[in-house]
Structure 1
């Protein structure tokens, strides 16, 4: 395997185990760390810390962006010298879940420099990254996705090519809308069980062995309760649900029963936002 020079922005909850696996695979990783503590964490992962976005992109075969929000993606990619610092023939991989239009805007700015752009939102958590079993939905031109694949395969399996640029985000947003709707139904099911005198933990354990089983139910059971699961992932779900509702409204799409089920849980994200 050819060692790649990889720039990385967003060495947090998801980014840190990605960097660890990239380094373990023999790649040369340079990661953005603006504070002393961040630079120390990056060094501990085996990567080289740098203080500016331009240094992340300089000489890189690929740059990975794994920040929290769509707004942060736009700031990093469109309001800094990152793209200008990346060499022609390199690829920008955006893991952050957000609007497909963000990927399109980045590509519009990058294409004149022959930089490939791939939207690559993920499904899974840090434990999946550590095991190399993260699911990634890639959207982009075939050659750009091919350039991104050697990076993604270090921590993801499967890597699913789902269509042109922006399609990865669309698939992820639909997935998260469905997942949030399932959580809404589980919340209602737990309430019903309680009214019938059934303990929540007992119900969650039983569901995993019955026809009501689902990935959502298993995830909730692993945390012990609906409340504990929401405490762990609610921030991420609120962000993604707001994004898919906004996109659906802009495109005149209908979420139908998905929206109703999502509203059954406490995401604090009203319809039509």
Structure 2
């Protein structure tokens, strides 16, 4: 496939590497000379302007920026869609508001461009191993059109519903993950009151029925606070969005809220 790529950072760069190695032609935005050199070394075609990532032969453009605002800037304000050919697709990996994905689709679909909101679960190590999870929302035809690219670095690629569904599933996933870490903070506090070392407790629990992916990640860091500090920027952003979406629907997060508050209390204050 002929692909454009915007957002070749912590997550995006290993995606570009996997795409190139899978035989896809990738034209990627590099904003600094250092980034452009590194991306060129991966075998990608590097451009210095967002307009350069697409041409008449582009099959899809992957957007992997950090915030919802950046997605809107790229897809709605930056002219990306007007430079894409009919029959192509936009893949948005950024976790954000379902409303943003729907707004991009409303702008793109009259131009004959498909939109797949495709937030991911996992990290750079999962991309490198080709086992990233993708929650894909959008028309089935659009999802299948971009599946060969996504499967260069993701397994499974799950079609979870119409446009915006990918964001909804990912937000619930991250709220639940964050709540699990909050519960671990409560458990570590209980252990401390019982005189059990936190690191010892966390390591032991990974071998019991309480084991989970969240626990494995926390145990690897040694303490809940260390893990919460490491993932805080990403998780807090997504939890803020899911709280906002839930409020817009006239509800809250229910039992998850207490655990999320416990997680917030486990993050050391900024110095």
- TM-score relative to the length of structure 1: 0.95
C-alpha distance in structure 2 between counterparts of 1:72 and 1:33, whole Å: 16
Shift of residue 239, structure 1, vs aligned partner: 0.2
Structure 1 position 121, deviation (Å): 0.4
Q: CA deviation at 1:254?
A: 2.9
Change (3 A) 1:179 1:158: same
Cα drift, residue 149 of structure 1 = 0.5
Match of 1:222 in 2: 220
TM superposition shift of 1:268: 9.8
RMSD (CA atoms): 1.3
Q: Find out whether 1:84 has 2:82 as its counterpart.
A: yes
Corresponding position of 2:34: 37
Match of 2:6 among 4, 9, 33: 9
Whether the aligned pair in 1 keeps the contact of 2:225 and 2:266 (CA below 8 Å) is no
Aligned counterparts of 1:135 and 1:267: Cα–Cα separation in 2? 29
Give 3-state SS (helix, strand or coil) of 1:88's partner: coil
Between the aligned partners of 2:266 and 2:88, the Cα distance in structure 1 is: 40
Number of positions where the alignment pairs a residue of Structure 1 with one of Structure 2: 266
Q: Distance in 1 between matches of 2:54 and 2:153?
A: 21
Q: Which residue of 1 aligns with 2:198?
A: 200
Q: Distance in 1 between matches of 2:134 and 2:21?
A: 20
Q: How far apart in 2 are the matches of 1:165 and 1:57?
A: 23
Unaligned regions of 5+ residues in structure 2, if any?
Answer: none
Out of 124, 127, 130, the residue aligned to residue 126 of structure 1 is 124
CA contact (8 A) 1:140 1:166 kept: yes
2: CA distance between counterparts of 1:22 and 1:133?
Answer: 14
Equivalent residues in 2 for 1:68-79 (5 A)?
68-79=66-77
1:156 maps to 154
TM-score (norm 2): 0.95
Measure, in 1, the Cα distance between the counterparts of 2:111 and 2:66.
26
> What is the 5 A alignment of 1:169-188?
169-188=167-186
Q: In structure 1, what is the equivalent of residue 109 of structure 2?
A: 111
SS in 2 for 1:118: strand
1:238 to 223, 236, 239: 236
**In structure 2, what is the Cα distance between the partners aligned to 1:229 and 1:198?**
19
The answer to whether the 8 A contact 2:91-2:117 is kept is yes
Is residue 20 from structure 1 mapped to residue 27 from structure 2 by the alignment?
no
User: Deviation per CA, 1:204-226, whole angstroms, max 9, x where unpaired?
Assistant: 11111112111111111122221
